[in-house]
Amino acid sequence: MYNAFTILWAVALVLGVLILIHELGHFIAAKYFGVRVEVFSIGFGKRLLGWRKGDTDYRISALPLGGYVKMSGENPMEARTGDPGEFLSHPRWQRFIIAIAGPAMNIVLAIALLTGVFMVRYEHPYFLDQPAVIGFVLDNSAAAKAGFEPGDRIVRIGNAQSPTWEDVEAKVMLNPGQPLDVAIQRGGQILTKTIVPDKQGQEEYGALGGWVPQEPNIVTQLEPDMPAAKAGMKVGDEVTAVNGLPMRSMRALINYLQQNPGKPLDVTVMRNHQDLHFNVTPVLAHNAHGGDQWRMGFISNPVHVDKLGFAGALSKSIETNKRYSVLILELVRQLVARRVSMKQIDGPIGIARASGEAARQGWMPLLALMAAISLNLGIFNLFPIPIMDGGVILLLAIESVMRRDISMKIKERIYQAAFVFLILFAVVVIYNDIGKALPGLAKFLP
């Protein structure tokens, strides 16, 4: 009951706010230019409840899959009366602003939400925004077979130059089953490798097993009565080497301990910019996954947690939304080229599931998710598909170049085709959602 209630209120909040903001953009712009708004609706279909004020019927409708602002005379198939309150009676530049105002409000909301989140808590793994240096390569893994080694720095992956690990993960994720050229710097040499990310999970995201990012092995928690604590190591120490061998990640350190079971180790740590040495003998003990392995008895979770000022949070929010926008466009490009699966797109069911999970984690994850969905909604509505905002903008641009209106007959055919396309697209997305929610159907998905 708790889970169902959490999902219901979370998805109602997320979709309700995002749809309201989107339609409010159209509404405010239309009112500003004197266009008569007949309906302001959250949802489609049958009117459930609402009120009328002036010329506008404010309503909540039966199907909560979007919303709309119905402006007088906006349908090109309707007869024009010349009434100055009609949408088509206004100059094209005003219609352009009215059309773009909805997506713009969603993009602004995404920036505002992330700015607020970053001002309260900006948390991210240390390695994510660092240069992509490999810290460990698992034996016999795909990365090992491709020839990668610890210490290699990825200087190019696909068309991304000097990538961070976030850039690398995005490229791998969006290229399942597709060969990717990777240039690495090893010593003074630049070497070229080719990787083919595997398809992983129901969404079939790309993944490459076997490589681990380089990150500092900072002691964030010491376990009492374990070898590290007994040897004198402290929270904040950074383990840099064991027996003189550089340790570029916790995975590399764990692997070394298993290969040298129970042997005394010379552990080099950096404390206050000074190298210190400790003699530590690992013991066989439970790990976080419930199994037994050779351990020194400390946990390393190098995560940056900051509270950014307004200027810093705004700058970071704009940068993050810009990067996500590029990823969204890249995903669409890959979809059109049939290089990724439609399973990577979530519909209402996927959004509901993600909203419920984010809500259980707290307000900050929920607001961050709202920002991501708002950005997606804003960009998706700018795609040049007739009926949608981007399609209206495209037709206005064509008419501006032609210096005359497109004929009503042509517009009617364009809108009919676009409507069929959107219905088919919605069916496919919802079908994917159902298949992912009910794994038994997944094998039938394209």
Which structure tokens are listed for 253? 């350190």
Query: What's the half-sphere exposure (Cβ side, CA atoms, 13 Å) at 28?
Result: 12
Amino acid at 385: I
Q: How far is CA 348 from CA 65, 331, 355, 438, in A?
A: 7, 19, 10, 15
Long-range CB contact pairs, 216-220, < 8 A, 24+: 216/126, 216/300, 216/302, 217/247, 217/249, 217/250, 217/253, 217/300, 217/302, 218/300, 218/302, 219/269, 219/298, 219/299, 219/300, 220/298, 220/299, 220/300, 220/301, 220/302
Calpha distance 182→85 (Å, rounded)? 58
Which structure tokens are listed for 435? 């298949």
- Nearest alpha carbon to residue 206 among 215, 214, 196, 216: 196
Calpha distance 38→35 (Å, rounded)? 10
Q: Which residues, other chains included, contact 108 with Cβ-Cβ below 8 Å and sequence gap of 6+?
A: none
Q: How is 180-216 classified by DSSP, letter by letter?
A: EEEEEEETTEEEEEEE-PEEETTTTEEE-TTEEE---
Our answer to whether residue 23 is catalytic in this structure is yes
Catalytic pick among 23, 166, 169, 203: 23
CB 228 within 8 A of CB 297: yes
φ, ψ for residue 358 (rounded to 5)? -65, -40
Helix pair angle (363-380, 2-32), 10° resolution: 50
- Nearest alpha carbon to residue 210 among 141, 152, 149: 141
Which structure tokens are listed for 127? 């390695």
Q: What is the DSSP letter of 218?
A: E
Catalytic residues: 23
